[in-house]
């Protein structure tokens, strides 16, 4: 569950953008939580340096984000649902964020609501977890180092998944696992036939549970799988890579990439 899919974010692909005063780091979860958590991450920015653009791209995950500088524990942590296009954030004020990046098929177990409930809006964790959420965030805010925060988070998540790790819709779970295994390199019809359901039924389940359709998720997983290959440098050239992932039309490939990333593939590629 989740282990064959490892999404990537832009600071890892474009390390030259990490200037003094701006830092993005990722931390791997413990083995027990690897099926549920893609990673933990931190973003720090110091306002005494020039402003910085921070690019976020769709990764098919759901995040709990904690603002470590928030004056109120009740408003410090919020949920970010599935993104379907890139976002550019202009950093000009001091920032210190900690994030938990969940695979979408485990997010509902943690959040107690379908992922679709968080589409296009920020929902504070305290609204979902009540007093337990407030205490959890207070523990995070009182920790000094990222490794300490990870310890706080993992104790909480182990409790959650020990009680329940199966609240996700079974068809959605099966669909996502097949998507990961295929690296998104399949059609919606192919996914429906593999699972033995109609495309219409698949669309209904995805929209109800995630707030996005299966075609969107196929596109995101395929995009992320391709990015992972670009990051590893294990490809010959971009044209062959595009063909490998089913992009037989160059203009469609470019349009898709720009929608998810905002720039051209060659701008992050180490080869032509």
In the chain, the domains with their CATH numbers are: 10-163 (no CATH), 170-267 (1.10.10.60)
Per-residue model confidence (pLDDT) at position 17: 66
Tokens (6 digits) for 154: 């993992």
Q: Nearest CA to 77 among 110, 47, 55?
A: 110
Q: Who contacts 192 (Cβ-Cβ below 8 Å, separation ≥6)?
A: 198, 199, 201, 202
Residue corresponding to tokens 């931390």: 27
Percent of the chain at pLDDT exceeding 70: 94
Report the alpha-carbon distance of residue 41 to residue 225 in Å, rounded.
20
> Does residue 35 contact residue 18 with C-beta atoms inside 8 Å?
no
- pLDDT digits 0-9 by tens, 242-270: 899 988 888 889 999 999 999 988 888 76
> Does residue 178 contact residue 214 with C-beta atoms inside 8 Å?
no
Per-residue model confidence (pLDDT) at position 185: 93
Rama region for 56: left / alpha / beta (φ>0; ψ in -120 to 50; rest) = beta
Query: If you count them, how many residues does the chain have?
Result: 272
> SS3 of 106, please?
helix
Go through 224-252 and write b for each residue having 16 or more CB atoms within 10 A of its CB, e for each that does not: bbbbbebeeeebeebeebbeebbbeeeee
Note the pTM of the prediction, 2 decimals: 0.92
Q: Who contacts 169 (Cβ-Cβ below 8 Å, separation ≥6)?
A: 205, 209
pLDDT tens string, the chain, 272 residues long: the values are: 445 899 999 988 887 666 778 899 999 999 999 999 999 999 999 877 677 889 999 999 999 999 999 998 889 999 999 999 999 998 888 999 999 999 998 999 999 899 999 988 889 999 999 999 999 999 999 999 999 999 999 999 999 988 875 677 899 999 999 999 999 999 999 999 999 999 999 999 999 999 999 999 999 999 999 999 988 887 888 888 889 998 888 888 999 999 999 998 888 876 54
Per-residue model confidence (pLDDT) at position 18: 67
Report the alpha-carbon distance of residue 186 to residue 202 in Å, rounded.
15
Report the alpha-carbon distance of residue 210 to residue 194 in Å, rounded.
20
- pLDDT digits 0-9 by tens, 2-13: 458 999 999 888
Per-residue model confidence (pLDDT) at position 180: 95
Give the mean pLDDT of the chain: 90
Q: Who contacts 265 (Cβ-Cβ below 8 Å, separation ≥6)?
A: 230, 238, 242, 253, 254, 257
């Amino acid at each position: 569950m989740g282990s064959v899919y490892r999404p990537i974010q832009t600071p890892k692909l474009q390390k030259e953008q990490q200037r003094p005063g701006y830092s993005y780091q990722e931390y791997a979860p413990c083995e027990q939580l690897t099926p549920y958590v893609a990673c933990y991450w931190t973003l720090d920015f110091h306002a005494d340096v020039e402003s910085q653009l921070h690019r976020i791209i769709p990764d098919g995950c759901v995040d709990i984000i904690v603002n470590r500088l928030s004056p109120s524990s009740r408003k410090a942590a919020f949920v970010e649902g599935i993104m379907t296009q890139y976002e550019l954030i202009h950093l000009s004020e001091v920032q210190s964020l900690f994030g938990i990046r969940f695979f979408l098929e485990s997010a509902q177990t943690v959040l107690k609501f379908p992922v679709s409930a968080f589409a296009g809006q920020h929902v504070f964790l305290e609204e979902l977890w009540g007093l337990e959420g407030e205490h959890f965030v207070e523990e995070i805010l009182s920790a000094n180092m990222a490794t300490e925060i990870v310890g706080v988070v993992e104790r909480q998540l182990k409790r959650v998944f020990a009680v329940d790790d199966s609240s996700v819709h079974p068809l959605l779970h099966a669909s996502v696992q097949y998507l990961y295994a295929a690296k998104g390199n399949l059609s919606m019809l192919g996914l429906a036939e593999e699972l033995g359901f109609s495309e219409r039924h698949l669309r209904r389940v995805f929209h109800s549970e995630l707030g996005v359709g299966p075609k969107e998720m196929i596109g995101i997983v395929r995009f992320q799988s391709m990015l992972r290959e670009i990051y590893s440098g294990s490809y010959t050239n971009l044209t062959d890579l595009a063909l490998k992932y089913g992009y037989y039309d160059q203009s469609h490939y470019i349009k898709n990439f720009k929608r998810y990333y905002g720039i051209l593939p060659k701008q992050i590629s180490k080869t032509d």
